Amino acid sequence: MIRRNIYSLSVALILLSLYSCHKDPQKGHLIVHMTQKVGDKALELNKMVYQSPAGHPYQVSKLKYILTEFELADKDGNTVKYEGGHLTDLTDSTSMAIDFEVPPGEYTQFSFTYGLSKANNVKSYLPNTQAYQNMYWPKTLGDTSVPSAQRDPGFHYMQYEGRYDSLGSGVIKVFNLHTGPTYGADNSFVVHLPFSQNVTIDNNTWEVNLVMDLQEWLQNPNLFDYETFGPAIMPQQAAQDLLKANGQTVYSLDQLSEK
């Protein structure tokens, strides 16, 4: 009788072990930290310690930007999509990270839209809060094919502002790199960033830095010179086109780790 009980207990333990080894995978989290730099330097506000590729010492006084339509791709090419978007504002510490709940899987790539696509750039797409209201695009610079009373121009993509010393001459001027849907144009673009290693989600948390290099807005492949476009680029599609092209190298992922 004792031997039979021992045998039954052993079988039960084996079955329990097999069940534990084959439990269903669990959701996890990916925390994306929004970080900024200028070339190889950390971003510090209101310090004229940076040099533009066009030859102007400059400082950054303000940075806000909206990213939308986040997406994760797994090793088999399947995707997990997140509707809506996120506003990063350097004056708001709570905006400096995004916590995504992620289904179990093995992920290889993180993607998003810089700004908002034409279809989504309407006020109803993002929360009706003061922070987002401050990013509204002017009606006068919206799609002129739509009557002003019916026009919903949506949002800025970015407000990147500062001051510069014109060619180091001591003449201080301002710049306002405001990107958005100039006269209804779609100046958004999609960014695809591979992870440095596969991110396996199963009841765990990963963290990664999403780095914006502000210097890249001013170069690669085009030289952006503040003097060429002046302090107001919102109505200038040529400036928007240049920044859209340069934006392809602005973002990168850094310091991926599992908690």
Position 63 scores a pLDDT of 98
Average pLDDT over residues 216-232: 97
- Measured CA to CA, the distance from residue 158 to residue 213 in angstroms comes to 14
Tens digits of per-residue pLDDT, 67-114? Answer: 999 999 999 999 999 999 999 999 999 999 999 999 999 999 999 999
Higher pLDDT residue, 243 or 16? 243
Least reliable range by pLDDT among 12-26, 47-61, 161-175, 200-214: 12-26
Tens digits of per-residue pLDDT, 13-56? Answer: 444 444 445 578 999 999 999 999 999 999 999 999 999 999 99
| All structural domains of the chain with their residue ranges | 25-258
Question: Residue 99 pairs with which residues in a beta bridge?
Answer: 31
Position 207 scores a pLDDT of 98
Question: Residue 8 in 3-state DSSP?
Answer: helix
- Measured CA to CA, the distance from residue 226 to residue 171 in angstroms comes to 13
The answer to whether residue 210 scores a pLDDT higher than 50 is: yes
- For 204, other C-beta atoms within 10 Å of its C-beta total 16
End-to-end CA distance of the chain: 49
Position 24 scores a pLDDT of 84
* Number of helices and strands in the chain (H, E): 4, 12
Higher pLDDT residue, 173 or 23? 173
